[in-house]
Structure formats: C-alpha cells, structure tokens
Amino acid sequence: MKSKNITNIAIIGGGASGIFSSLRCAEIANTKGINADIRVFEASNDILRKVKISGGGRCNVTHFIKEEKNLCLNYPRGQKEMLSPFVSFKTTDTVKWFKDRGVNLKHEADGRMFPVTDNSNTIINCFIKEAKKYKVKILTKSNIKNITKLNNGKLSLLINTKENFIADSVLIATGSKKSGYKIAESLGHTITELAPSLFSFNIKDIIIKDLQGTSFSNSHLNLKIEGFKNFYQQGPLLITHWGLSGPALLKLSSWAAREMKNSEYKAKIFINWLGLESKEKTKELIDNIKKNNTRSNISKIHPKELTKRFWIQLLTKCNISMQKNWSDLTKIELEKIIINLFNCELSVNGKSRYKEEFVECGGVNLKEINFKTMESKICTGLFFSGEIIDVDGITGGFNFQNAWTTGWIAGKNMIR
C-alpha cells in the first residue's frame, strides 16, 4: 500500500539519461510503495532526440565489452570515477534491461550494439511504454529557468518564468546544454573546461581531393599538436568532402578534444593508410609490386587495398609522372611512395561536428559528485547523470552506456 505523503521528483532533460533515470526512479518507488510524483521537464518540443538519430537512425545502444575495467578504457575523461558505477550497472545489465521489456539487442563485428530491428524507434517506444506504465509525467516546452534551495531542504524549480515546482530531489540531465551548466553553477558547482568531442578533421590535400567516400579498413593515425603530447589511434578511416572522419579519426578527436581546442584545431596528422606494422613491411610490399610488374604503367598497378583514384593522387602528391613504368622509378621516387603510404603528413586546419551525434568534453567537476549515488556533494537532493558530468566516451555506444549507468544509479537514489 502506497504512503499518503507524496515524494516530488524533478528530472531536467528529456534525453537518454533523463528518461532512463525517471523509469528507474518510478520502478523503485513502485517496489517500495512510495507515492512519487515524477516529472521530466524538457525545454524543447521533443524528447530522446539523440536516441533517434544515433547510429544513422539505428541507435547504437551500448557496446559488447562486458568487463568493467576494459569498459572504462574507452572514456578519455572519467575512467577512474566510472569503474564503481559500471560495477553496479554494466553493458550486460543494459542488454538485460531491454530484453526484459521485449527489446533484443545484437552486436556487430566492431562491438557496437543495436536493436535487432535496426530502428531507433524501437528504443524510444520502449521508453514511452514504460513511462506510461509507471505514470511518469513527461512535460515538453518546460524550460527550467533556475533552481532555489529552500530552508526546508527542498528545491524550487522555476518553469518558463511563471510556474514553480517544489521537489524533494532534482536530477540535472541536460547533456551539453548551457542551461544545465548555468543551473549547476548557481547551486555551487564548478564546470570544467568544455570542448567539442567526436568531430572530424578539416584537411585540404591533393591526396584526398574529391575522394569523399573512400575508406581504409585499418589505418594507423599519429596526431601531433604543437605544445602537447602525441595521440595515436588505429582502425577504419573515411575521406569526406571536408577532410577525414571514420571511427579511428573520431576516437582520436575524443582523446585530443581539449588539446585540439587549445591549438585552435591546427595540427599535423601522420597516416599509415594500409596499417602495415613497419616502414620495412611497406617497402617490401612496393618492392614486390615493382619486381612483378616492371613493364607495367605505374598508374595501373597498385596495392590491392587502395582504390585506383587514391593511388593516382598519391603519385601526384609524390610528383611522379603517370607516364612511367614501374621499372623507370628512381630510388628517390620509390622512397616517396613508401613514405606517403606509411607516414603520410597532412595538415589539420579545423573541425566539423560529426552529424548531430556530437558529444561535449567537460562538465560538472567529478570531485563534486558522489558516484555511488550520483548525488551532489555540495547541494543535498541534487543529482547529475549523463553528459552534463565531466565524463565522455569514444564512439561506439560508450556515451549511451554512461547515460544508462549514471541515470540508473541516480534514479535509484532520488527516492528517499
């Protein structure tokens, strides 16, 4: 039997973490017989926008990595702090949570996990169904202007400048919206340096000109930013209209997020297009091609992993005449080919956000949050989850896992 007293719960942000936390909160209240009024306040007209667009509309729900310590290695910021939360709610718990509600997930070769329907609406519909089941109130066009701590310990939310809601517990799950940072600061929190994460590189160079859509399955990348340490990454790489993108490049952008911002997105990137383990292996490959194709035109015979158009532009970058046969190449010309295959230097002159799935590096200082409960150490009754905290992951479902885990823990602990 439910108690007569009502516990008021306010969740600011109708994104992945906010909605998920509301469901967990409602589930706990129901189990304990607590009469809870749970409200999700979303400033825009719509909820779960990133869930809808993630993975090209398929929703990259989580990642297949099961072991918590290995999972933490995919977070450039928050590795240490997220270990305990992941012990409480890990990727396998995410899979089970959805399965228990009729949504089965599958994993792909790179470890990313999607609903078997390959449709993000499957995830959204699951959340909406659960919200209706537990009578969670999802209120759109509800912009929280500020929060005031009352003398009785409760928190007063000003909605759209005219309405107030008095809450026993408040969760801020506003992602990278400035309004969330502003509210957190007004309640005594500090926000760490903000910088875009998961962005592609703007590069202009003959070797990639007009080759958008060309991909490399196992490139090796070495990013050199003046005044900072070097960053390394390997994996699939994609040439775009404006430069370079793809999983390996996006991971690189995550690890170097703050350094790239501080360098005004100017850097040098050195690319091993084929991912061969050494310059000697690259030389061996080219020597074999030359040996077996001495009378063949240089533009017509190339490493099978490369497209003809890319190969021709690589030769152009090396200033090698297309009229030559392999037997005509000088030692200097062969060395240029080897260098541009194994350690090709390109200049980075800016960034482009990765579609609408961008992530922000930085947020509420991790030292100000109790990661066992996701409650503020500064303001009792205030909680945080998701991207508003200074935790961000590389591409591959890791940011959603942060959203589910921190939302699950906050939702559990908001019920007093």
Extended strands (E) in 240-322: 243-245, 267-272
Q: Which helix (H) or strand (E) holds 314?
A: helix 308-317
Tokens of residue 208, six digits: 């990639």
Among residues 40, 41, 90, the alpha carbon closest in space to that of 70 is found at 90
CA–CA separation, 258 and 260 (whole Å): 5
Reference 22, options 161, 133, 180, 152; nearest CA is 133
**Residue 378: pLDDT band by 50, 70, 90 thresholds?**
very high
pLDDT above 90 (res 2): no
Is the pLDDT confidence value at 186 over 60?
Answer: yes
- State how far Cα 286 lies from the chain centre: 38
Q: What is the pLDDT of residue 416?
A: 77
Query: Quick one: pLDDT band at residue 373, thresholds 50, 70, 90?
Result: very high
Which pLDDT does position 353 carry in this prediction? 73
The sheet carrying 155-159 orders its strands as 144-149, 155-159, 163-167
Cβ atoms of residues 57 and 79 within 8 Å = no
Q: Residue written as tokens 């390996």? A: 248
d(CA 66, CA 58): 21
Please state whether beta strands 369-370 and 375-376 pair in parallel, antiparallel, or not at all (unpaired).
antiparallel
What is the pairing mode between strands 199-202 and 243-245?
A: antiparallel
Distance, CA of 346 to CA of 271 (rounded, Å): 8
Q: In this predicted structure, what is the pLDDT of residue 13?
A: 98
Q: Residue 288 — pLDDT band, cuts 50, 70, 90?
A: very high
Encode pLDDT of 102-145 as tens digits.
Answer: 999 999 999 999 999 999 999 999 999 999 999 999 999 999 99
Whole-number average pLDDT of the chain: 96
Phi, psi values for residue 404, rounded to 5°: -65, -50
Kindly tell me the sign of the dihedral angle through the C-alpha atoms of 284, 289, 295, 297: negative
As separate numbers, helices (DSSP H) first and strands (DSSP E) second, the chain gives 13, 22
The predicted model scores a pTM of 0.92
Rounded CA-CA distance 344/269 in Å is 8
**How confident is residue 354, by pLDDT bands cut at 50, 70 and 90?**
low
- Which is nearest to 396 in space by CA: 256, 235, 258, 176? 235
Q: Average pLDDT, stretch 328-334?
A: 97
pLDDT band at 400; cut points 50, 70, 90: very high
Query: Which residues, in sequence order, are CB contacts of 133 under 8 Å at separation 6+?
Result: none
Query: Residue 345 corresponds to which amino acid?
Result: E
Question: Taking residues 320-338, what's their average pLDDT?
Answer: 97
Tell me what pLDDT residue 372 has: 98
- b/e 262-301 (16+ beta carbons within 10 angstroms → b): eeebebebbbbbbbbeeeeebbebbeebbeebeeeebbeb
Sequential DSSP letters for 41-56: E-SSS-S-HHHHHHHH
More confidently predicted of 397 and 353: 397
In the chain, the percentage of residues whose pLDDT exceeds 70 is: 98
Residue pLDDT, tens place only, 194-230:
999 999 999 999 999 999 999 999 999 999 999 999 9
Predicted pLDDT of residue 359: 85
Residues 255-269 have pLDDT tens digits of: 999 999 999 999 999
How far apart are alpha carbons 24 and 29 in whole angstroms?
9
Structural domains of the chain ordered from first start: 6-194+360-413 (3.50.50.60), 200-353 (no CATH)
* Neighbouring residues of 2: CB distance < 8 A, sequence distance ≥ 6: 33, 34, 35
pLDDT greater than 90 at residue 287? yes
Q: Is the pLDDT of residue 319 over 80?
A: yes
Q: What is the pLDDT of residue 4?
A: 64
Burial string for 228-259 (b: 16+ CB within 10 Å, else e) reads: eeebebbbbbbbbebbbbbbbbbbbbbbbbbb
pLDDT in tens, 76-100: 999 999 999 999 999 999 999 999 9
Nearest to 73 by CA among 59, 64, 83: 83
The CB density around residue 102, as the number of other CB atoms within 10 Å, is 10
Question: Model confidence at 357, in pLDDT bands (50, 70, 90)?
Answer: low
Cβ atoms 59, 114 nearer than 8 A: yes
Q: Where residue 3 falls among pLDDT bands split at 50, 70, 90?
A: very low
Pairing of strands 155-159, 163-167: antiparallel
CA distance 395 to 387: 14
Q: Measured between alpha carbons, how far is 204 from 211 in angstroms, rounded to an integer?
A: 11
Condensed to tens digits (0 to 9), the pLDDT of residues 29-65 reads 999 999 999 999 999 999 999 999 998 899 999 999 9
Cα separation, 173 vs 156, in Å, equals: 17
Residue 294 has pLDDT above 70, yes or no: yes
Average pLDDT rounded to a whole number, residues 172-178 = 96
